[in-house]
Amino acid sequence: MDEQHIKHALHALADIDEDIAQSLDKIGLPSPRMRPAGFETFLNTIVSQQISTKAADTIWGRVSNLMQNIDATTLLTIPDKLLREAGLSKRKMEYAQGLAAAIVTGDFNPDGLIEMSDSDAIEAITKIRGFGRWSAEIYLMFSLQRQDVFPADDLILLTSLQKIKNLTERPTPKKARELIKHWSPWRSAGSLFLWHYHHQSKAVHKS
């Protein structure tokens, strides 16, 4: 989602959702967020799972330095010992090697996701060990630039939706999907705005 799309989408949402309109007036537009499509982003996703951003950046630097070309074939040539020394846990190493093997054998084709529907692309990604629905939806949003995705299992999105909608409790993923159904076809931009709302609220609270 580039800046122009985000602006257009969120103003469209503001026209149909008063809560978005009020919040948008207060905190403004979020910045664009885009990631390249392909193996490198999938591998980086595995590296980054369940650790801090700082730790993920450190480990990613070590892992990427092991490869002259960051591709599936190259990863499979790296000895397990070097991957472990770079900071990958045994399970993450298995996930990374499984991803690479699936690409090399043709069982998984990242380039083919471009032609798939959202639901088919999510299904294809989640067949790979280490990738749940949330990871798949994030890939669709930021690597494939799909415009109507809402990662309802994301805790920050649910918490921000609770605050924006002035709800007494945090909605369940199912309830959240119902609450923002009318955001379609702009749910990706709406999701980005909820993350933006969270970070802006934290900044205000700290100050």
CATH number at residue 8: 1.10.1670.40
What is the full per-residue pLDDT of the chain (207 aa) written as tens digits?
889 999 999 999 999 999 999 999 999 999 998 999 999 999 999 999 989 999 999 999 999 999 999 999 999 999 999 999 999 999 999 999 999 999 999 999 999 999 999 999 999 999 999 999 999 999 999 999 999 999 999 999 999 999 999 999 999 999 999 999 999 999 999 999 999 999 887 654 454
Quick one: pLDDT at residue 207? Answer: 44
Domain of 17? 3-32+149-206
CB 182 within 8 A of CB 16: yes
CB 86 within 8 A of CB 63: yes
Q: How big is the chain, counted in residues?
A: 207
Q: Do 43 and 25 lie in a common domain?
A: no
Q: Where does a domain end: 107, 142, 177?
A: 142
Q: Do 10 and 43 lie in a common domain?
A: no
CA quadruple 117, 122, 127, 131: dihedral sign: positive
Quick one: pLDDT at residue 200? Answer: 87
Q: Where does a domain end: 103, 125, 142?
A: 142
Quick one: pLDDT at residue 183? Answer: 97
Q: Do 26 and 55 lie in a common domain?
A: no
State both tokens at 35: 């990631």
Query: How many structural domains is the chain composed of?
Result: 2
Q: Do 155 and 138 lie in a common domain?
A: no
Residue 66 is part of a domain; what is its CATH number?
1.10.340.30
Those residues whose C-beta lies under 8 Å from the C-beta of residue 177, and which sit 6 or more positions away, are 150, 152
127 to 75, 107, 130, 159, 191: CA distances (angstroms): 20, 10, 9, 29, 24
Quick one: pLDDT at residue 190? Answer: 97
Q: Do 116 and 172 lie in a common domain?
A: no
Q: Do 124 and 163 lie in a common domain?
A: no
Quick one: pLDDT at residue 203? Answer: 55
Those residues whose C-beta lies under 8 Å from the C-beta of residue 137, and which sit 6 or more positions away, are 122, 149, 150, 151
| Nearest CA among 36, 23, 8, 9 for reference residue 187 | 9
